[in-house]
Amino acid sequence: MAEPRRRSGIRGNEAAAGWLFVAPAVLILGLFLVLPIGMALWVSVSGWNGQGSPFAAGVPYVGADNYAELFLDDGLTRENFMISLRNNLYYVAVAVPAQTLLALALALVVNQRFLKATSFFRTAFYFPSVTSSVAISVVFLFLFANSGAVNALLAMVGISGPAWFADPRGLLHLILDGLGLVDLTAPPAALTGGGPFGLSWWEWLAGPSVAMSTIIMLVVWTTSGTFMLIFLAALQDVPVQVEEASLIDGANAWQRVRHVTLPMVKPALFLVITLGLIGTWQVFDQIYVMSQGKPANTTLTPAYLSYRTAFTDFSYGTGAAISFVLFLIIVVMTLLQRWIMRDRDEPRPRRRWWPRRRSTP
Please write the tens of the pLDDT for every residue from 23-64.
999 999 999 989 999 999 999 999 888 888 888 888 899 989
Instruction: For residue 213, give Cα distances in angstroms to 30, 68, 94.
Output: 39, 31, 9
Q: How confident is the model at residue 261 (pLDDT cuts 50, 70, 90)?
A: confident
CATH number of the domain where residue 135 is located:
1.10.3720.10
Q: In total, how many domains does the chain have?
A: 1
Q: What mean pLDDT value characterizes the chain?
A: 86
318 vs 58, higher pLDDT: 318
pLDDT at 354: 55
Q: Is 257 exposed, middle or buried (0-12, 13-18, 19+ CB in 10 A)?
A: middle
305 vs 339, higher pLDDT: 305
Q: Do the domain assignments include residue 345?
A: no
Q: How confident is the model at residue 263 (pLDDT cuts 50, 70, 90)?
A: confident
Residues 6+ away with beta carbon under 8 Å from 102: 220, 224
Q: How confident is the model at residue 346 (pLDDT cuts 50, 70, 90)?
A: very low
Which whole number is the average pLDDT over 296-300? 92
Q: Do the domain assignments include residue 74?
A: yes
Closest Cα partner for 325 from 301, 289, 291, 297? Answer: 301
How many beta carbons lie within 10 A of that of residue 321, not counting itself? 29
Residue 360 has pLDDT above 60, yes or no: no
Single-letter residue type at 4: P
Instruction: For residue 97, give Cα distances in angstroms to 188, 277, 287, 340.
Output: 31, 10, 20, 15
Q: What percent of the chain has pLDDT over 70?
A: 92
Residue 347 has pLDDT above 70, yes or no: no
pLDDT at 280: 93
Q: Do the domain assignments include residue 36?
A: no
Closest Cα partner for 96 from 327, 280, 341? Answer: 280
Please write the tens of the pLDDT for every residue from 209-221.
999 999 999 999 9
Which whole number is the average pLDDT over 271-298? 92
Please write the tens of the pLDDT for every residue from 158-181.
888 888 988 898 999 899 888 888
Distance CA(307)–CA(290), nearest Å, equals 15
**Burial state string for 91-120 with b = 16 or more CB within 10 A and e = fewer than 16:** bbebbbebbbebbbebbbebbeeeeeeeee
Instruction: For residue 237, give Cα distances in angstroms to 114, 226, 230, 234, 268.
Output: 18, 18, 11, 5, 11
Structural domain that includes position 295: 68-170+207-339
pTM score: 0.85
Q: Do the domain assignments include residue 261?
A: yes
Q: Do the domain assignments include residue 347?
A: no
Question: What DSSP letter does each residue of 130-191 carry, written as one string?
Answer: HS-HHHHHHHHHHHTSTTSHHHHHHHHTT-----GGG---BHHHHHHHHTTS--TTS--HHH
Q: Do the domain assignments include residue 3?
A: no
Q: Do the domain assignments include residue 166?
A: yes
Q: Do the domain assignments include residue 128?
A: yes
